[in-house]
Structure formats: structure tokens, C-alpha cells
């Protein structure tokens, strides 16, 4: 299970790699395809972690909340 320090590290990586850009957002399993489509093409303006949750802010004050659950991980290739 990812602990808080891991989530904070991932949020910092999001800040370095994506804040100020307009990333393509997807829902690999399709459960959140509509929300992903809404965020695609919008500029990411902030990335922060609070405890074990990560919050990604996009222009127009839209937020994506991420909780990695038991086995969650991000890979920045």
C-alpha cells in the first residue's frame, strides 16, 4: 500500500512534469472516460498531496482527486 511520503513524491513529480502543460487525460478501464475527456486539453495548474490523496488542479478550477488504493502506482517513463 502506498504510504503518504510516496504520494507526496508522486505529486512533486507531477508538478515538475505536468504543471503548466495541457496533458492528455485517460481512463484506462473506461469507468471515468467522461471526466477524463473533460480534463483533456486543459492546463494543469497545481499538483499537491494531502495525506495519502493527491489532488491535480486544472484551469477553470477543476480538480482530479487520486487515491492509489492498495496496489496503485504511477510510472513516469
DSSP string, 11-70: HHHHHHHTTTS------TTSTTHHHHHHHTTSPEEEEEEETTEEEEEEGGGEEEEEE-TT
Residue 75 falls within a domain, yes or no? no
Domain containing 44 equals 4-67
| Domains contained in the chain, number | 1
Residue 13 falls within a domain, yes or no? yes
Residue 10 falls within a domain, yes or no? yes
In the predicted structure, residue 72 carries a pLDDT above the cut 80: no
Residue 35 falls within a domain, yes or no? yes
- pLDDT tens sequence across 23-67: 999 888 899 999 999 999 999 999 999 988 999 999 999 999 998
Amino acid at each position: 500500500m502506498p504510504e503518504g511520503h510516496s504520494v507526496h513524491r508522486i505529486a512533486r513529480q507531477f508538478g515538475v512534469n505536468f504543471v503548466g502543460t495541457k496533458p492528455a487525460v485517460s481512463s484506462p478501464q473506461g469507468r471515468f472516460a467522461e471526466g477524463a475527456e473533460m480534463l483533456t486539453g486543459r492546463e494543469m495548474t497545481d499538483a499537491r498531496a494531502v495525506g495519502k490523496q493527491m489532488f491535480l488542479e486544472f484551469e477553470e478550477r477543476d480538480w482530479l482527486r487520486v487515491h492509489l488504493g492498495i496496489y496503485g502506482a504511477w510510472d513516469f517513463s
